Each structure stands twice: as structure tokens, then as C-alpha cells.
Chains A and B, each alone.
Chain A
Amino acid sequence: MKDVTKNACHLCAPLGASLVYKGIQNCVSVLHGSQGCATYIRRYLIGHFREPIDIASSSFTEHTAVFGGQENMIQSIINVINTYSPDVIGVATTCLSETIGDDISMILKEFHKRRGESKTPVILYTSTPSYRGTHVTGFFKTLHDVINQTAIQTEPVDRMINIFSGLFSPAEIRSLKEIAASFSLKTILFPDYSDTLDGGNWNQYHPIPPGGTPIQIINNCGNAQASIDFSFCQKDEISAGQSLFGKFGIPSYRTAYPIGIELCDTFYDTLATLSGMEIPKQFMRERERLIDGYVDAHKYLYGKRAVVFGDENLVFSVSIFLAEIGIDVVCAATGGPKDSLIGLKTKEAFARTDILEDCDYEDVEEWVIHNRADILVGSSRGNKIARNAEIPLIRCGFPIHDRVGAARQNFIGYKGTHNLFDQITNALIEQRQNSMSINYGTM
């Protein structure tokens, strides 16, 4: 354990929870704690998605902190109902409410009792103190809890699967849905914030931005034939797929973010198996093009040294992809918990990689200062490191606060990988071109 965290490489758990709740149709989240947490989280998310994001807080005061948060919680739910008329309210705890020991299920019971017959939205809740997890674990924990609280099994639906998404961009979510649809599968993708966090300009005012998975559809998750679950680097106890397997025996495919040929193959093969279909031609064409791209550009890449950092799942997949194209992943770093990158540690290709877990950006910066790197791949928070080291930073993951288009970035699937591949290759080419004394017009 380090003495002090400098420039943390992870955010706090309720941010992950808020993101999941943004994936439910007509849902507003309420963070149980002080006002600041909710406002800071909003600001941070808005900086990335550039969309309106309303997150309510139960706004603790001194009195609440001493006597418990029940009344504030109840009042905030009522005020959210009156302001937004939501179908769903997603409650997440914060460090504060957890520390004073508020029991949300008890509070909700009391709320329902007082509410009586009045029309009341579905209220979901999760426990997300940040001293127990990061925004990534908070995301998967909330996803798990929502499924756990809502999925019911009635009649299994033929050719229907669940896709439990990861911290993907809205564009990536759209692409996952399209891919699954091409296999003639009915898919429940959750959480689906592809519209709520990447919407059009409005023709009319929307208290809650349109989009998201309707709660009735989430209920139906219990009737799927299988789950594809992207909580690959997470512990079993916060895997939604695992939970449905335990409850209803629905097989769960824990899948790594599909980046690179190898990991994409696994993903598309899983879809082929689940659908009983061959992989559609269009994807095979994309795959061929990607391999052709690898070949065309391999000489620009061989032996280049990359540092990858961010969400453990992303770091895992991006590292495997980079190794696949001949780039040495010299350092793979995450703010995620110890052992979250165990999957890399056991792979031959990363025997010489420095794998940093539970690290902060200062650790990454130190690493880059004392070792040599040619390129960084990670969030925009690596900007300072890249600037000081004078090497390119390929922005991917969360947050991207210094560029537009974070919501439209698509780096998954064969096509998305190709996109990432071109960005990395071109950044390295540009670096080389700029460093040459002669102005070469062909590279």
C-alpha cells in the first residue's frame, strides 16, 4: 500500500453506478450522500460525453450525518419523481452513507410504505462506497445488482441473448448491437447508454434524454439462452452473467473486450456458436482487411515500445492487440485492484512487461521517465506524461476530456480494431516523419 495517491488512475465507484443507470430508459440516479459527490461526478461525466447528465443527491447535512439519511433519501426520491416523472430511479450509496451505516433496503421499504398506492417508479439500488472499489468495479457491481434485482425467468425466449456491456463508448455499444443483430439474435444489451449519452440536438426539451434499455426488457434477461459478459477482469461476485447462471442456469460467456484479431475471434465465434450461424461474410471481409492492414503496416510497428493504462479490461485487451501487431507492451498499468491484470501476467507475451496494478498516473509518469517508450495508449489524463516525454498519446477509454468525439470512438470488433490500428500506426509514422531532418513526402 502506498503512502499517498498522486493523480489517481481511477475514479470512485458511484461514477460507475451513474453510468450504468444512464443505460436504463427514463431513469434518474440518486447518490446517497453529500451534494459534492453527485456534482463532481456529473461534471466529470459531462466533460467526457458532452451531454446533459442529471444526477440527484440526497444532499446530506450535519443533521443527516448524525441521525441517518432516511429522510433525505425519501425526500430526494419524491423530488426526483416530481421533477422528472421517471420510470426508474437508480440509487447508489457513497462513502459517507456507507460509513454511517444507512441501510438502503430498509429506507426503501419505509418509502414504499409511506407512498402507499401512489404511482411509484421502480427503484433499484446498489452499494458503492469508493473505499471498496473504483469506478470500474462500481460499474460492474451496479450492472450485477440491477440484473440481480430485476431479471425474472418466465418463459425462455428462443435465440435471445444478453450482452452485459463494459465501459464502452456509445458508438461501441451501437456497433455491438449491430454485430449481434447480424447473427439474427435477439439481444438485450445492458446498460445501453448509446443514445442517452450520445444524442442528437433536441427539437424539444427532455427532462431525461431519450434512449436506454426499458426496465421491462431488463426484466426479461432471465429468459435469455446465454449471456455474453464483458466483466472479464472482474471478480465473479460482480459478474451479472455469473449471477444469472447461479440463479437460472443461463450459461455465461465471460468475454474480453473484443480488440485485435484473437479477442475478436473469440467474440464472433461465441456469437456463431450461440446463433448456430456461420460468421456473416461482412465480418469475415472486415477480418481479412484488418489482417491485410496489419501486414501493410507491420514494419512501422515492430519493436515499438508502448505503455498502456486505464480501465483493467481495456488495458488487458489493448495489450493483447498490441502484442499481436508486434508492438512491445513495456508497461501495462491500471488503477484497478490488485490482480485485476492477472490475465496478462500469466501470458508468455507479457513476461517482460511491467504490470502495475492499483497504480496512479504518477507511477506511470515515473515509469516513462525512467524507461523508454514510443507511444502511450490510454485516457486523456496521460496528456501530461505524453507532453513531457514528447511521444504520442492515443486517447482511448475514460475519460477523454481534451478532445471531441469520445462518444463516437469505436475500437471494438474487427472494424473498430482497424480504426485503433490506423490511429496508432499513423501516430508512430507522424512521430518518425517529424523527427527526420529531411522532409519526406512518402512514408
Chain B
Amino acid sequence: MENRALLKERENHILIKESDQTQISCEKPTLAGAVSQRACVFCGSRVVLYPIADAVHLVHGPVGCAAYTWDIRGSLSSGPELHRLSFSTDLSEQEVIHGGEKKLTAALNKLITTYRPKAAFVYSTCIIGIIGDDVDAICKKISNVYGIPVIPVDSVGFQGTKKDGYAAACNALFKIIGTEPVTNIPVCSINILGEFNLAGEAWIIKEYYQKIGITIVSTLTGDGRIDEISRAHGASLNIVQCSGSMMQLAKLMKEKYGTPFLRVSYFGIEDVALSLYNVADFFSDYPEIKENAKKLVYEEITSRSKELDLYKKKLAGKKAAIYVGEAFKAFSLIKSLRSLGMKVVLAGSQTGNTEDYETLRELCDPGTIIIDDANPAELSRFIIEKEADLFIGGVKERPMAMKLGIGFCDHNHERQIPLAGFEGNLNFAKEIASSLCSPVWRFTKKQSGGTK
């Protein structure tokens, strides 16, 4: 297909399953002027660390970076809620010229004495990368004064992409892990990595594990607590969901503490069940875990199958477009949409790597468009061309889809309805149906046949 991207430099970031044999181009800096849906390094760090609820998160720089990320994520906490506050050093022009170190010190003193947090994270944003404040030194000093971890997060916006922000967050977490002694941790114990407790999803997952006889040492980072994280190295196994963001931490822990890891996903019946079984298999010395898992899966599925069937009938044959931050989610979504009888016509991500896109290619039906770091113009064009009925993405994509007269399901970090686990799978079907089956589409005009 000629000219499928509007910009020449974007051509290789898009491929069509079957007709294109070449490898997709990915993991590149965003093309200037392309209106990428990506944010920045800081965004990557912030989303990973944000759910830690008993730490203060101080954004060092001018006000915007903190203001835009104030409480925009549905990560729930069962206790403290410090993470829902937005703290900024809000640098003024004078401080940009003369350095922000004084302000940073004052801000940390103020925050720590006011809120008595268990730790503080200091995020460096773009301006800090230019003016060169010695954030590390200040953090060390403050940490000594108050006796809590004060951890610099190297998240300067222009120094890479969201992915580098994940890495910075993993490094920050790695500094906390191992700082508390580990006694009394049972053998059948895990850390849950890459689960952010959106709409309480971590609680659903934790319950499954507890039911089958596995102890959770820490969740990174959903409903996260510093002291749990400090003991994370005591777990026997790391299970990694959002691999794009947390794989690095799993690897670091394996290196230093020898903790093995498993990749999992909690979206869609198939993947949830598989994840539970794989974890159970890991603890094969304790066969009752596998037995429990089987029982749990059976009960969870059968208790909902009738209701799920109702939705399946409504959704069969509909076409979906998926654009997500992390590629892992697209894998699960494709499978779970398929299990609902739906078809995926476009699948893309902001930050997938070559391996991710190969997996996507294997999973997708022929003709599916696979896209890396897309922009609204491309997405709109393919929605129309592929005659999608539904778009699954985040707030930024919502109005675009709706203007084009197609349904929408929010699967991003702002969602308030849990979509993980077995109950999440049912919610997911409900969510899609509540958009696709609405009578309002009668009044809109769905477009087809390309944009030109």
C-alpha cells in the first residue's frame, strides 16, 4: 500500500499483517511535529511510581509538569493518599537563572515535616536537565536529616522517551528494595510487578493469589507502601504484568537477589487463567496451589458465563481498533476481544519494541494494521479505512473516535471500572456493549472508504 502514512518518516512505523514482511520501526525518538500521543520521560516515571501512597512525589521544575499530572490516575490506596497530591517546586524565572537547589531543599523540608512520609521521590523535569541542579546531593542530605529514603528520579523529559522514564522509575525502586530485613516470608510468596491498582485491580488480583495459597510481599506499585517494597527481595518470585515498564526491575532483582520472574497478564479470561496456572506451576512442590487455582478459575468462569454470553451475542462480529501505551496490553486485548467474537482491525502502542511487534503480528488477523507511536491523523485515517466500530484507548483518543461516529472504551490509566481479572473481563464486555449498543449511533454517520 502506497503512502499509508502522511509523513515519509513515519512509513516504517506502520505495517499491515501479511502484505508487509519487513520489520516495523520502533523505539525511536518521536518525530518532531508528528503530534504523537506519547508524553515524555517524566510521564513514564510518574506513572510507575505514582501509586506509592505513603511517599511524597515532588516534581522539580516549573509548574506545568506537576499540574497536569495531579490526580489524573485512578490508582487507589487502601490507606494513605499522599500520591493524590501534586507537589511542585514551581520554579520562577529567577530560580531558573540562578538554580533551583534552594527551592528544592525548602520544598523537601516543608513536605517532609508536614506530611511525615515514608519516603520522598524527586522528579527532575526538562528544565533541571538544563540548569543542572545537583539533585542527588540534596536528596542525600535531606535523607540523612530525616532518616527516610529521598530518591532522585532522573526523568528529564527530553532525555529519551516514556520508556526511559520507566527505567528511571525502576532504578528508583531498586534503591528501596533490600533496605529492610526479610524474616518470616513464606516460600510461596511473590511480588506483583507492573500492576498499578487502577480502579482497585490489584486488590482483585491479590485476592486470587491469596485464595490459592500464595503470599504477596509487595505490589509494585499499586496501593504501594515503602516498607513492603523494602522487603520485596524476600519473595520467591516476581510476576510481571506491565512488562514494558517493569521488566527492567525484574531483571535487576534477578541479577542481585536471584529472584526469578514470570510474565503475566490479567486481561481476558484466557490470560488470567494462564497466569494463575503458570505461577502455580512455579510452586510445583506445593501441588495444592495448582489444585486451588483450577478450582478458582472454574468457579470464576462458570459463575459469570451466562451473563458473559449475553454480551457476546451483542458484540459478535464488531470491529475494534486498539491503541495503548504498552504493547503487552494489546496482546491481551486482542485475545479477549476475540473471545467476545470481535475482530481487531488496528493494533498499536506508544512504546512497543521489536519483539512486542512480532508478537502482535503473530496474534493479529491478516490485514490488521500494526502501528507504532501513532498520531491522530493516522489513527483517524485507519479507523475510517478499516470501518472500525469501536476504539479502545485513552482520553486523548476518545473525542477523535467519537467525532468519527464510533464507540469508545477507556482502557487507560484513568479508568474507574476494573477491567482486570475475571470480573474485570465481564466489566470489559459490559463497557464495550454500553458504547456499541447505545441507540445514539443511529443519529451519527459512520464514515467509510478512506479520508481522501
- Which of B7, B63, B89 touches A11 (beta carbons < 8 Å)? B63
Distance (whole angstroms) from the CB of A30 to the closest CB of chain B: 6
Question: A95, B61: Cβ atoms under 8 Å?
Answer: yes
Check B39 for interface membership: any CB of A closer than 8 A: yes
Question: B63, A8: Cβ atoms under 8 Å?
Answer: yes
Check A302 for interface membership: any CB of B closer than 8 A: no
The bracket for how many chain A residues form the interface is: 35 or more
- Which of A41, A55, A82, A129 touches B62 (beta carbons < 8 Å)? A129
Check B186 for interface membership: any CB of A closer than 8 A: no
Question: B126, A205: Cβ atoms under 8 Å?
Answer: no
Check A36 for interface membership: any CB of B closer than 8 A: yes
Binds A, one of B200-208, B251-259, B338-346, B401-409: B401-409
Residue from B35, B69, B91 having most chain A Cβ neighbours under 10 A: B35
Distance (whole angstroms) from the CB of B327 to the closest CB of chain A: 19
Interface size on B, residues (CB 8 A): 77
Given known A-B contacts A3-B106, A82-B6, A131-B96, A35 and B40 have beta carbons under 8 A apart:
yes
Question: A79, B93: Cβ atoms under 8 Å?
Answer: no
B residues 42-68 in Cβ contact with A at 8 Å: 42-43, 58, 61-68
Distance (whole angstroms) from the CB of A131 to the closest CB of chain B: 5
Question: B32, A8: Cβ atoms under 8 Å?
Answer: no
Distance (whole angstroms) from the CB of A5 to the closest CB of chain B: 4
Question: A54, B38: Cβ atoms under 8 Å?
Answer: no
Distance (whole angstroms) from the CB of A13 to the closest CB of chain B: 8
Question: A35, B447: Cβ atoms under 8 Å?
Answer: no
- Which of B87, B95, B129 touches A131 (beta carbons < 8 Å)? B95
- Which of B68, B106, B396 touches A4 (beta carbons < 8 Å)? B106
Question: B405, A95: Cβ atoms under 8 Å?
Answer: no
Question: A75, B158: Cβ atoms under 8 Å?
Answer: no
Check B399 for interface membership: any CB of A closer than 8 A: yes
Given known A-B contacts A39-B37, A62-B158, A79-B33, A8 and B70 have beta carbons under 8 A apart:
yes
Question: B157, A96: Cβ atoms under 8 Å?
Answer: yes
- Residues from chain B with a CB closer than 8 A to the CB of A83 are 6-7, 33-35, 375, 377
Question: B68, A44: Cβ atoms under 8 Å?
Answer: yes
B residues 336-372 in Cβ contact with A at 8 Å: none
Check A313 for interface membership: any CB of B closer than 8 A: no
Given known A-B contacts A6-B87, A8-B90, A54-B376, A46 and B399 have beta carbons under 8 A apart:
yes
For the complex, give the distance between the alpha carbons of A51 and B376 in Å. 12
For the complex, give the distance between the alpha carbons of A4 and B375 in Å. 36
Question: B444, A59: Cβ atoms under 8 Å?
Answer: no
Distance (whole angstroms) from the CB of A6 to the closest CB of chain B: 6
Question: A39, B39: Cβ atoms under 8 Å?
Answer: yes
Distance (whole angstroms) from the CB of B404 to the closest CB of chain A: 6
A residues 95-125 in Cβ contact with B at 8 Å: 95-96, 99-100
Distance (whole angstroms) from the CB of B207 to the closest CB of chain A: 28
Check A232 for interface membership: any CB of B closer than 8 A: no
Check A225 for interface membership: any CB of B closer than 8 A: no
Binds A, one of B107-115, B218-226, B274-282: B107-115
- Residues from chain A with a CB closer than 8 A to the CB of B313 are none
Given known A-B contacts A11-B68, A80-B33, A4 and B7 have beta carbons under 8 A apart:
no
Using an 8 Å CB-CB cutoff, how does the interface string of A107-149 with B read, 1 for contact, 0 for none? Answer: 0000000000000000000000111100000000000000000
Check A72 for interface membership: any CB of B closer than 8 A: yes
- Residues from chain B with a CB closer than 8 A to the CB of A4 are 58, 87-90, 106-107, 110-111
Distance (whole angstroms) from the CB of B15 to the closest CB of chain A: 20
Question: A12, B62: Cβ atoms under 8 Å?
Answer: yes
Question: A46, B398: Cβ atoms under 8 Å?
Answer: yes
A residues 296-327 in Cβ contact with B at 8 Å: none
Distance (whole angstroms) from the CB of B326 to the closest CB of chain A: 16
Q: Which A residue's beta carbon lies closest to that of B44? A: A36
Distance (whole angstroms) from the CB of B309 to the closest CB of chain A: 32
A residues 1-32 in Cβ contact with B at 8 Å: 1, 3-8, 10-12, 14-15, 30
Q: Which A residue's beta carbon lies closest to that of B91? A: A131
Question: A36, B29: Cβ atoms under 8 Å?
Answer: no
For the complex, give the distance between the alpha carbons of A43 and B403 in Å. 16
Check B294 for interface membership: any CB of A closer than 8 A: no
Check A368 for interface membership: any CB of B closer than 8 A: no
- Residues from chain B with a CB closer than 8 A to the CB of A44 are 68
22 A-B pairs with C-beta separation under 8 A: A3-B106, A6-B87, A7-B70, A7-B86, A8-B67, A8-B70, A11-B64, A35-B30, A47-B395, A52-B400, A58-B33, A59-B31, A59-B34, A62-B160, A64-B158, A79-B31, A83-B6, A83-B33, A95-B62, A95-B96, A95-B127, A99-B96
Residue numbers of B with Cβ under 8 A of A are 6-7, 9, 29-43, 58, 61-70, 72, 85-93, 95-96, 103, 106-107, 109-111, 126-127, 129-131, 157-161, 375-377, 380-381, 384, 395-396, 398-400, 402-405, 443-445, 447, 451
